[in-house]
Amino acid sequence: MEIVFRLEQFEGPLDLLLYLVKRRKISVRSVSLSQLADEFISYIEQMKKLDLNITSDFIAMATQLMEIKSKYMLPSLTEKEAKQLTQQEEDLYRRIEMYEKIKQLSSEISQRVKDLGSRQLIKLPSLPQIEQEKIKKILQAALQDLDIRKAVYRIHRQAMTVEEAMNKILDLLTSNGELTLYSLLSTGESRYQIIVYLLAVLELIFFKKILLLETKDDFVLRRNDLEP
Q: Is the pLDDT of residue 149 over 70?
A: no
Q: Is the pLDDT of residue 226 over 90?
A: no
The amino acid present at 94, given as its one-letter code, is R
**pTM score, two decimals?**
0.60
> What is the arithmetic mean of pLDDT over 95-121?
64
Q: Is the pLDDT of residue 173 over 90?
A: yes
Instruction: Please report, for the chain, the start and end positions of each structural domain, with discontinuous segments joined by +.
Output: 2-223
pLDDT at residue 119 in the model: 39
Q: Is the pLDDT of residue 220 over 80?
A: yes
Q: Is the pLDDT of residue 151 over 80?
A: no
> What is the arithmetic mean of pLDDT over 183-202?
83
pLDDT at residue 114 in the model: 44
Q: Is the pLDDT of residue 10 over 60?
A: yes
- The pLDDT > 70 percentage for the chain reads 74
Per DSSP, the residues of 58-114 read: HHHHHHHHHHHHHHHTSS---HHHHHHHHHHHHHHHHHHHHHHHHHHHHHHHHHHTT
Average pLDDT, the chain: 76
Q: Which residue has the higher pLDDT, 57 or 143?
A: 57
Q: Using CA atoms, how far apart are residues 203 and 205, in angstroms rounded to an integer?
A: 5
pLDDT at residue 210 in the model: 92
pLDDT at residue 122 in the model: 40
- Kindly state the helix (H) or strand (E) to which residue 172 belongs, with its residue range: helix 162-176
Q: Is the pLDDT of residue 104 over 90?
A: no
> What is the arithmetic mean of pLDDT over 49-68?
81
- 30's CB contacts (< 8 A; 6+ apart) are 24
pLDDT band at 152 (very low <50, low <70, confident <90, very high): very low
Q: Is the pLDDT of residue 47 over 90?
A: no
